[in-house]
Each structure stands twice: as C-alpha cells, then as structure tokens.
Amino acid sequence: MASAMLPQQMTMFARKAVVEYPPRGDSADSSGEVEAEDRHRYYIKDDSNGRPVRASEWVSTLMSEAVIISAPSQSVIELSNGKLVFGSRRVANVSDRVATDSYLISPTISNADPASTTGLKKILSSIYTFDMFINNVDRHFGNYLSVDDNGIRRLYAFDYSRALFWNWPWSDFPAINEHTRVYGSILRNLHGFDEKSSADIINRIEGLTQDTIKGFVNSMPTDWISSAPTAQFIKWWGSRAWKTRLVDLRKGISDGTLL
C-alpha cells in the first residue's frame, strides 16, 4: 500500500511505522511507541475518550514552537493498519523520569549552576502561561523532558493531549484544582515566577496571525477532527473574545488570580 499523503498544504509524507510497541501504563492518552522508517523512535497518540487528541497535539505543538517553547519534533505516523496518528520524536539522550523530576523540584539556588538550564524560572513561567492560554489542564512533572547536553541542561515541554480542542470551546482558564495549576504552584514555590517572560509569551501569542493558525490547522490530516471546531477556532482567533482572553490572562498573571 502506498504511503498515505498528508493534506495538500504539507510537503511531506507520513512516516511509516516499522515496529510497533504497546503503550506503557504511565500515560493515560498514549497509544504506544513505534520505530519509524526514518530510524527514529516516536511516542504516538490516537484519539481517546472521544476527544480529538491528535489535533490538539498537532496544533498546540506548532503553536508552542512558534512562541519559542521547545517541544520534541512532531510527525504524522502511518501504522501498519494504515491509520495516521500523532508522533512525538524521542529526544536523544533524554534523562529518565527520576532525574527530570529531581531537576524540577530542586530549588532555583541549585538550578543556577553551569550544569543547569539558564533561567529555569523563565522557561517554567513561559510554559505555564502558554498552557493557561490554550487551556491545557494536565501539565505535571511527567510531561517535561530534560537532557544533559554536554553539561548544559535542556528542558522541553510535551503532551498537549488535554489542551486546545479537548474542551473546546473554552469557558474559562484551567481550574485551581487541575494539574496545570497544582503543579504550577509547586514549581513557583521552588523557582519563582518571571512576569516578563510570561508577558513575552502573551505578546508572541498575540502576534500569531489568523493565517498562521489556519496554516497549522490545515497542515494535519483532515480526518483528525471535524471541520466545525477547527473553523470555529480559526474564526475565534483575532476576534473580540480572543482579545478578551489575552487581556484576562495578563490581568490574572499580574494580580495573581491565575497563579
């Protein structure tokens, strides 16, 4: 069977899975892992609980990179049964879960040495702000990756399954009892919060045009989500409601009601 083509806007083919592995038990939305024809390992996601996980992952990851928040590179993966799923490429030399957790919960004073990411507070503040905007309710220690890159610690954010289209249309920001707020509070107590980095993220989001967002949506397989929510999301971008969300996010960060 010929490799499945992506929509016309894309200039690449889906990567075929050569070997498929079952999901592990530590991720509620994972569909497992694959070794793809490009000789890279990918963590894959299909839709779960009737929610458009693949679409949420795809668009959110593109948006995160656009506003300068690093995430593992993404691909469309074609399984042996012909189905197209979201793939997140495994980062080389990634630290194990225990090492990353330890890195995150070590107070800033110990994270400021040469073997650490410069400005961990800034990175975490940026990620938190982005998560709040896209209504990601599930940011916790398990969806950060860290890498020891020749003595410099790199930090990535991944897993946007429960963001964007998961609860679209949005009625509010993530609630105080949801993972993003709970773990965000823990990390702020350890590292502080950088309002300038937060404001920079909001400004970058504001700078993304409707055409850019439309391009992100149109770059994924069309059967990952129905046209109605994506059309609503594109129309919403740049609207009065979109501007109000940015204003409310700025205010909530400034006065602490969204921290």
Tens digit of each residue's pLDDT, the chain (259 residues): 334 444 444 445 799 999 999 887 656 678 899 999 999 999 999 997 789 999 999 999 999 999 999 999 999 999 999 999 999 999 988 888 888 898 898 886 655 554 455 558 999 999 999 999 999 999 999 999 998 888 778 899 999 999 999 999 999 999 999 999 999 999 999 999 999 999 999 999 999 999 999 999 999 999 999 999 999 999 999 999 999 999 999 999 999 999 9
8 is a domain residue: no
Residue 7 lies in a domain: no
The answer to whether 161 and 224 have CB atoms below 8 angstroms apart is: no
**Same domain, yes or no, for 111 and 28?**
no
pLDDT of residue 154: 86
Query: Can you give the residue range of the structural domain that contains 30?
Result: 15-89
Instruction: Decide: residue 167, CB within 10 A, 0-12 exposed, 13-18 middle, 19+ buried.
Output: middle
Q: Looking at residue 119, what is its pLDDT? A: 59
Residue 125 and residue 71 share a domain: no
227 sits in which H/E element:
helix 227-236
80 and 58 housed in the same domain: yes
Q: Is 53 left (phi over 0), alpha (psi -120 to 50) or beta?
A: alpha
Say whether both 126 and 209 belong to one domain: yes
Look up residue 217 and give its amino acid.
V
The reply to whether 142 and 216 lie within a common domain is yes
Identify the pLDDT of residue 2: 39
Shared domain for 139 and 213, answered yes or no, is yes
Residues 151 and 246 in one domain: yes
How many residues are present in the chain? 259
Q: Identify whether 47 is part of a domain.
A: yes
Contact assessment for residue 153 and residue 110, using Cβ atoms and an 8 Å cutoff: no
**How many structural domains are present in the chain?**
2
Residue 1 lies in a domain: no
What pLDDT is stored for residue 103 in this prediction? 87
Strand partners, 229: none
HSE toward the beta carbon, residue 42, CA cutoff 13 A:
28
Question: Are 28 and 137 part of one and the same domain?
Answer: no
| Whole-structure pTM value | 0.90
41 Cβ partners below 8 Å, 6+ apart? 33, 34, 35, 89, 90
